[in-house]
Amino acid sequence: MPFLIGTDEAGYAPNLGPLVISASVWWVDESDAQVDLYRRLKTVVCKSPSRRSRARRLAIADSKALYSPAHGLRVLERGVLAALGLIDHCPGDWLEVWQLLDDEALAHLSSMPWHVNYDLRLPLAADAEDLARMIPKLRRGFEASGVRLVTLKSRAVFPEQFNRSTDEFGNKGEALSKITLALLADVLQHCAGEPVRIVCDKHGGRNFYGRLLQQQFPETLVEVHGESAAESIYRWGPADQRIEARFRAGGEDFMPAALASMASKYLRELAMRAFNDFWCGRVPDLAPTAGYPLDARRFRAAIHEAQLALGIADRIVWRDR
């Protein structure tokens, strides 16, 4: 009975706000690790929903398909909060969702003034009554289909940490891979005794992950079973607990990776909400930013005087790469 794990990130390109990496762990009651979760859960989950089907089913897909500034957070937030409900977590505010998804971030949140005493009730855009109806329906659908969501975890890498990581590892691609594999090692603790299938969305243009996997899992030989622009495949561990990891372009087609993409984007959007609220409350007529390079430079110039007056160090604001 295999475990399925997917990982994905949000915020790799921006200069402002965190890089967030997430992993979701699932269990299925069949021996075929190639099981299609979208087919198995089709009565309660959809991938590309119409407005009508979205009301009946939960959308789990690449976050880019579910969120845009023009359409808002509703569908993305509904998916993440409903998934947390499946593992008996119902966060009611901004801090609680951080505690559930990335408790390691709490120490760093208090070091940034836009996060200190920040309070935001959840859900922001999703309908709380709809979620209350949806979660029991999801539980019944998952149980009937022999599928269980085991855990959903994230790692947020804020600017100061991000800069240290890129300095330590030489570039941000290496940093992304190292942090992803460390998170993967953590969530693999939920999978003892059974085979595991992992699908990770590819890390930028990287095609070769064997060295990094061997460094992360030195106790066993990591076998290379193919490395290409489309997909890189690795296997390790004993036969009855075999782990297979695939790094795939478009990995979000795999439901566990899609949910990881959603959790990463949701946490990043919450972090940027706090960041924008702080600066827009101190700089008149300042337009919010998503943190991507061109607009980030505009935003950085606009807050410069206020940043100096407040004594806020650049290292906690700006990502160098």
> CB atoms < 10 A from the CB of 167, how many?
12
> Which residues, including other chains, have CB under 8 Å from residue 132's CB and lie 6 or more apart?
none
Which run of H or of E encompasses 277? helix 255-280
Q: Tens of pLDDT along the chain (321 residues)?
A: 699 999 999 999 999 999 999 999 999 998 776 889 999 999 999 987 665 555 689 999 999 999 988 889 999 999 999 999 999 999 999 999 999 999 999 888 888 999 999 999 999 999 999 999 999 999 999 999 999 999 999 999 999 999 999 999 999 999 999 999 999 999 999 998 899 999 998 887 899 999 999 999 999 999 999 999 999 999 999 988 999 999 998 878 899 999 999 999 999 999 999 999 999 999 999 999 999 999 999 999 999 999 999 999 999 999 998
Domains of the chain: 3-273 (3.30.420.10)
Residue 156 carries which side chain, given as an amino acid letter? A
Which run of H or of E encompasses 247? strand 243-248
In what order do the strands lie in the sheet containing 196-201? 147-157, 19-28, 3-10, 196-201, 243-248, 231-236, 223-227
Judged on CB neighbours under 10 Å (0-12, 13-18, 19+), 121 is exposed
